[in-house]
């Protein structure tokens, strides 16, 4: 039950949505699947005066573009993304990541864009505050931080939990952002500010229009794992998405991308781990070493009841395992990854 009134209008096109955002300003929010927005409205974390529904905008089906890249409309439902033959064949990691999100119903409702634009999360934040944690924290515009009382005003350690974002980063995806002045394209990593207070680098009158993933060269392999206590209906404890490209000799690493989710205010590129891998012969020891480095680089925030130590331990194992998966796939010389 949502305990406040708000206005509702439907945008006819994406450009129309942007125009409405520009007109209505900060008091308006876009409504796609609603699986992140509605719970936040129920908890009164956000209380928009107007919702601009994107319901009337039919998403384009995933399609091949220049150079074999795949363009996916941000309004694509996660379930459709996961079921898309094109995506399964060319970007299996993305299909797997989409399948890992939430629950079946959440995937049928939620969109790719909505998943990427979700708010960061924290136990103290994501509940109603009628009698618990009533004084607003920094993220709620207030004066304190409950889990980390010594933090200063501009530091919010709420965690960005998207399962799909790390996969897109590992796939070197870029995003199209539609604004009043047209479309700008940036690498997907640039969407994230790293600040728990304002996690997304989006202007008030901008919307995420599409995601573009380049074609995978030969000898590329992928690995993806979402750590969670149960098999579903959860945000991740930690998410690992890795991509490895091998040289022609089949054992030296040409390029590595290691992206970690549910670790910090934004997904983390384990750059030092990547440097350990690139140019090296990928044996067991090297993979383990890179995984240990990545786990350290993550500098995981304790979140949702998990300690930093445990999250780091978990990452160390699963980054290694996903690297092993990626290596095995790369060796099979798959065309796409």
- Rounded least distance, CB 84 to other proteins, Å: 14
Picking from 324, 318, 279, the residue whose alpha carbon sits closest to that of residue 295 is 318
- Rounded least distance, CB 306 to other proteins, Å: 8
Pairing of strands 70-73, 238-246: unpaired
Site pattern 139..178 for other proteins (x: CB under 8 A): -xxx------------------------------------
Pairing of strands 182-187, 207-213: unpaired
Stretch binding other proteins (CB under 8 A), from 15-23, 47-55, 209-217, 322-330 = 47-55
Examine residue 51 and tell whether it contacts other proteins (CB under 8 A): yes
Residue 180: phi and psi, rounded to 5, are -60, -30
Binding to other proteins (CB under 8 A) within 116-145 occurs at 123-124, 126-128, 130-134, 136, 140-142
Examine residue 304 and tell whether it contacts other proteins (CB under 8 A): yes
User: Residue 217: how many CB atoms within 10 A of its CB?
Assistant: 13
Inter-residue contact 212 to 310 (CB < 8 Å): no
Examine residue 310 and tell whether it contacts other proteins (CB under 8 A): yes
Stretch binding other proteins (CB under 8 A), from 43-51, 67-75, 170-178, 194-202 = 43-51
Alpha carbon separation from 242 to 35, 97, 217, 310 (Å, rounded): 27, 12, 15, 21
Examine residue 5 and tell whether it contacts other proteins (CB under 8 A): yes
Dump the DSSP string for 256-310: EEEEEESSSSS-EE-HHHHHHHTTSB--HHHHHHHHHHHHHHHTPPPBTTB-HHH
Contacts with other proteins by CB under 8 A lie at 1-8, 31, 34-35, 38-39, 42, 44-47, 49, 51, 53, 55, 77, 79, 99, 102-106, 108-109, 123-124, 126-128, 130-134, 136, 140-142, 227, 229-235, 304-307, 309-310, 313-314, 317-318
């Amino acid at each position: 039950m949502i305990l406040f009134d708000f206005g509702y209008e439907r945008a006819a096109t994406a450009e129309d949505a942007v125009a409405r955002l520009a007109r209505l300003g900060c008091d308006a929010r876009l409504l796609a699947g609603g699986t992140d927005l509605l719970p936040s409205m129920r908890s009164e974390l956000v209380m928009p005066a107007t919702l601009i529904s994107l319901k009337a905008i039919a998403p384009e089906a995933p399609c091949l573009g220049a150079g074999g890249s795949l363009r996916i409309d941000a309004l694509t439902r996660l379930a459709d993304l996961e079921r898309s033959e094109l995506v399964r064949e060319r970007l299996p990691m993305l299909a797997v990541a989409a399948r890992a999100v939430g629950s079946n119903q959440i995937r049928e409702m939620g969109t790719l864009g909505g998943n990427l634009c979700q708010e960061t999360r924290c136990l103290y934040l994501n509940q109603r505050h009628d009698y618990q944690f009533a004084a607003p924290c920094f993220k709620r515009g207030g004066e304190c931080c409950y889990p980390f009382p010594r933090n200063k005003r501009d530091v919010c350690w709420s965690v960005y939990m998207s399962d799909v974002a790390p996969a897109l980063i590992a796939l070197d995806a870029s995003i199209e952002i539609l604004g009043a002045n047209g479309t700008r394209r940036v690498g997907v990593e640039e969407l994230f500010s790293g600040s728990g207070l304002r996690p997304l680098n989006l202007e008030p009158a901008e919307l995420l229009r599409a995601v573009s993933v380049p074609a995978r060269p030969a000898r590329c392999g992928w690995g993806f794992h979402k750590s969670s206590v149960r098999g579903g209906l959860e945000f991740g404890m930690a998410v690992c998405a890795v991509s490895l490209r091998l040289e022609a000799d089949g054992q030296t690493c040409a390029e590595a991308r290691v992206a970690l989710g549910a670790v910090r205010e934004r997904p983390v590129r384990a750059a030092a781990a990547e440097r350990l891998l690139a140019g090296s012969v990928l044996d067991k020891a090297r993979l383990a070493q890179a995984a240990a480095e990545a786990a350290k680089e993550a500098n995981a925030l304790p979140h949702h009841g998990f300690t930093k130590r445990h999250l780091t331990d978990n990452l160390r194992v699963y980054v290694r395992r996903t690297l092993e998966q990626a290596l095995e796939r790369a060796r099979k010389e798959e065309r796409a990854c």
